[in-house]
Amino acid sequence: MTETATLRDRRRRQTASEIQAAALRLALRDGHDSITTEMIASEAGISLRTFFNYFPNKQSALVGRQPVIEQDLADWFRNADGTLIDDLCEVLRRHMHAIDLHRDTARMIDRLLARSPELMPAFHASLQRLSQQLSQLILTRTGPDHAPEAELVAEIFAHALANGFRAWASDTDMKIDDITSILATQIRRIQALLQR
Amino acid sequence: MTETATLRDRRRRQTASEIQAAALRLALRDGHDSITTEMIASEAGISLRTFFNYFPNKQSALVGRQPVIEQDLADWFRNADGTLIDDLCEVLRRHMHAIDLHRDTARMIDRLLARSPELMPAFHASLQRLSQQLSQLILTRTGPDHAPEAELVAEIFAHALANGFRAWASDTDMKIDDITSILATQIRRIQALLQR
DNA sequence: TGCAAATATTGCACGGCGCGCAAGTTCATG
DNA sequence: CATGAACTTGCGCGCCGTGCAATATTTGCA
């Protein structure tokens, strides 16, 4: 039973990933709004009904499953003693290492967003979930009375991470760690911009 | 013909507003996912087909039409000589005055979001459009090479404005100008938080 | 190995969604 | 009051998303 959970889980991840790949392939080939959920299911070799067991809708399939920040990372952050910025960057750096990133998937998403901007809200909703997790993290250090600011800072980090992610997707020379250095750079630039 | 445009326009706004009110009323009474677009149309006294002439979907009707920052405001901002923060706050202050805000509508939205969090992405998509407009504004002053930071700063302001807006909605003692003072306060707190 | 329980997949049916189209209606303007 | 632009409406159609129940597959355990 100890192994079972992870085995089935791995299988689910794999299927979800295949569905996403199929969706991205079709959307990039035929255009997002001329494909149907049925086409995606068929391309992925599953039934339409099974498609909806994995994703609630077409857009979610394109964006993919949302990774969750692991508990041990959260624990590390709570007890870390660097600046807020540094520790948040470090959390995100480790997080990016913990999940397996596929550069080609990322690149497909990037191209698709350029071609079909109407998908941006869906992608952004995914970012928003990351932002909420970060917000929770920040609150463990600032205390619950800083909720509004924590949300705002979390959103900055999530969006800046996305920028780094996009750069990584389209530049094969970049390493995973470079994503968070871009993130750190952008945070510094924001601080500068806010002084102007 | 000079008057016609504005007359018809006013009528359109009015109808859109009535549809939104009907949608919010029903959603708050029966719950967002047990109402249909047909019910909303019927409650608003229009046909289902006309509903879709005004809003692309149910969620948009609940969120309402997105106001656009006027050109003269944009011109003012480009030539203003205060700090970026101060001038952005001032733009948003004037913007809030330029559009007619209905506190009861805002309150209904607020209550609805508390009750049906699944609507948050729709609301956030609307914020995102405001954010994009702000980003354009900022770029007129920083130059186009600061695009990523401008986007991030714009997003902070949009989100902070939303926070102020929510506070205004649920506190009848607040004036419109108080929205932007909350905004300014939160920006300052973020700066402080980023120094930690 | 083989059986029972847990879990996954699928087909089906159904109601809501969203839009193109064409016919009818309203209304400011000349 | 005639005219044409803008608005409303009904209809039809295909896609979306889900509950349900039957079937298939996998897993843990004897």
Closest nucleotide over all strands to B33 (CA to C1'): C16
Task: Enumerate residues 6+ apart whose C-beta is below 8 A from B154.
Answer: B131, B132, B133, B134, B135, B137, B138
Residue A68: how many CA atoms within 13 Å on its side-chain side?
3
Closest nucleotide over all strands to A50 (CA to C1'): C9
What is the three-class DSSP state of B70? coil
Closest CA to B24 of B115, B93, B155, B137: B115
Distance D15 C1' – B104 CA (angstroms): 36
Q: Which residue of B has its CA nearest to A151?
A: B159
Q: Where are the alpha helices (DSSP H) in chain B?
A: 2-30, 37-44, 48-54, 58-63, 71-79, 84-98, 103-115, 120-142, 147-169, 176-195
Average pLDDT, chain A: 94
Chain C nucleotides with an atom closer than 7 Å to a protein C-beta? 7-12, 15-21, 28-30
* Per-residue confidence (pLDDT) for residue A3, from 0 to 100: 45
Q: What is the distance between the alpha carbons of residues B138 and B146, in angstroms, rounded to a whole number? A: 9
Average pLDDT over residues A2-20: 82
* Per-residue confidence (pLDDT) for residue A67, from 0 to 100: 87
Closest nucleotide over all strands to A55 (CA to C1'): D17
Q: What is the pLDDT confidence band of residue A2, given thresholds at 50, 70 and 90?
A: very low
CB contact under 8 A, B149 and A193: yes
Residue B194: how many CA atoms within 13 Å on its side-chain side?
23
Q: pLDDT for A123-141, tens place per residue?
A: 999 999 999 999 999 999 9
Average pLDDT over residues A18-27: 98
pLDDT beyond 50 at A104: yes
Q: What is the pLDDT confidence band of residue A68, given thresholds at 50, 70 and 90?
A: very high
pLDDT beyond 50 at A1: no
| Cβ contact B161:B168 at 8 Å | no
Report chain A residues whose CB lies below 8 A from the CB of B186. 148-149, 152
Distance C28 C1' – B1 CA (angstroms): 7
Q: CA dist B10 to A27, B6, B14, B67, Å?
A: 40, 6, 6, 14
B79 shares contact with chain A (CB less than 8 Å): no
pLDDT beyond 50 at A66: yes
The region, left, alpha or beta by phi > 0 then psi within -120 to 50, assigned to residue B138 is alpha
Report chain B residues whose CB lies below 8 A from the CB of A149. 186, 189-190, 193
| Cβ contact A27:A71 at 8 Å | no
Q: CA dist A63 to A89, A127, B34, B144, B176, Å?
A: 23, 10, 27, 29, 38
DSSP-assigned letter for residue A33: G
Of A83, A146, A194, the CB nearest to B191: A194
Q: What angle do CA A187, A190, A192 make, to 5 degrees?
A: 115
Average pLDDT over residues A153-182: 96
DSSP-assigned letter for residue B145: G
* Per-residue confidence (pLDDT) for residue A4, from 0 to 100: 47
Report chain B residues whose CB lies below 8 A from the CB of A159. 151-152, 155
* Per-residue confidence (pLDDT) for residue A100, from 0 to 100: 87
SS3 for A138-183 is HHHHHCHHHHHHHHHHHHHHHHHHHHHHHHHHCCCCCCHHHHHHHH
Residue type, B12: R
Q: Would you call A183 exposed, middle or buried from its count of C-beta atoms within 10 A (0-12, 13-18, 19+)?
A: buried
Q: What is the pLDDT confidence band of residue A5, given thresholds at 50, 70 and 90?
A: low
Cβ-based contacts under 8 A for chains A and B: 83
Q: CA dist B83 to A182, B89, B188, Å?
A: 26, 10, 13
A193 shares contact with chain B (CB less than 8 Å): yes
Task: Enumerate residues 6+ apart whose C-beta is below 8 A from A148.
Answer: B160, B163, B186, B189
* Per-residue confidence (pLDDT) for residue B9, from 0 to 100: 85
Q: What is the distance between the alpha carbons of residues B177 and B164, in angstroms, rounded to a whole number? A: 10
Residues 153-192 of B with CB under 8 A from A: 153, 155-156, 159-160, 163, 186-187, 189-191
For residue A36, report the phi and psi dihedrals to the nearest 5 degrees: -115, 165
Helices (H) and strands (E) in chain A, counts: 10, 0
Q: Is the CB of A36 under 7 A from strand D?
A: yes
Q: How far is A51 from chain B (nearest CA, A)?
A: 21
CB contact under 8 A, B84 and A148: no
Distance C27 C1' – B40 CA (angstroms): 27
Of B84, B159, B196, the CB nearest to A194: B84
Interface test with A, best of B149, B155, B159, B165 (most A CBs within 10 A): B149
| Cβ contact B160:B187 at 8 Å | yes
pLDDT tens, position by position, for chain B (196 residues)? 445 567 788 899 999 999 999 999 999 999 999 999 999 999 999 999 999 999 999 999 999 998 899 999 999 999 999 999 999 999 999 999 999 899 999 999 999 999 999 999 999 999 999 999 999 999 999 999 999 999 999 999 999 999 999 999 999 999 999 999 999 999 999 998 888 7
Q: Is the CB of B12 under 7 A from strand D?
A: yes
